[in-house]
Amino acid sequence: MKVNPQYNTKETLLELYNKPLLELVFEAATIHRQHHNPREVQMSSLLSIKTGGCSEDCSYCPQAARYNTGVNADKLMTVDTVIEQATNAKNNGSSRLCMGAAWREVKDNRDFDNVIEMVQQVNSMGLEVCCTLGMLTDDQAKRLKNAGLYAYNHNLDSSEEYYSDVISTREYHDRLNTIENVRGAGISVCSGGIIGMGEKVDDRIGLLMSYMKMDNPPESIPINALVAVEGTPLEEQKEIESWEIIRMVATTRIAFPESIVRLSAGRTSLSIETQGLCFMAGAGSIFAGDKLLTTPNPEFNEDSQMFDILGLIPKKPFQDGCQPETHKDEIIEQKKVLAEKRKKELQEARENAIKNNFKPRVFKTVDSIKNEKQLSK
Give catalytic residue positions: 54, 58, 61, 98, 130, 190, 262
Q: Which long-range contacts does 120-124 make (Cβ < 8 Å, 24+ apart)?
A: 120/147, 120/148, 120/326, 120/329, 121/79, 121/82, 121/83, 121/86, 122/82, 122/83, 122/86, 122/97, 123/147, 123/148, 123/149, 123/150, 123/323, 123/324, 123/326, 124/148, 124/326
Burial group, residue 338, by CB count within 10 angstroms (0-12, 13-18, 19+): exposed
CA 367 – CA 371 distance, rounded (Å): 6
Strand ranges in 84-183 using DSSP code E only, listed in sequence order: 96-101, 128-132, 151-153
| Residue 7, C-beta contacts closer than 8 angstroms, at least 6 positions apart | 13, 16, 254, 255
DSSP letter string, 264-304: -TTGGGS-HHHHHHHHHTTEEEEE-SSEETTEE---HHHHH
What CA dihedral angle connects 266, 267, 268 and 273, to 10 degrees? 140
Q: Give the span between the Cα atoms of 27 and 296, in whole angstroms.
A: 32
- Let me know: does 105 contact 135? Beta carbons within 8 Å: yes
**Cβ-contact 143, 155 below 8 angstroms:** no
Q: Helix 242-255 to helix 272-280 angle, to the nearest 10 degrees?
A: 20
Calculate the CA 165 to chain-centre distance.
Answer: 23
Q: Is 119 left (phi over 0), alpha (psi -120 to 50) or beta?
A: alpha
Residues in the chain, total: 377
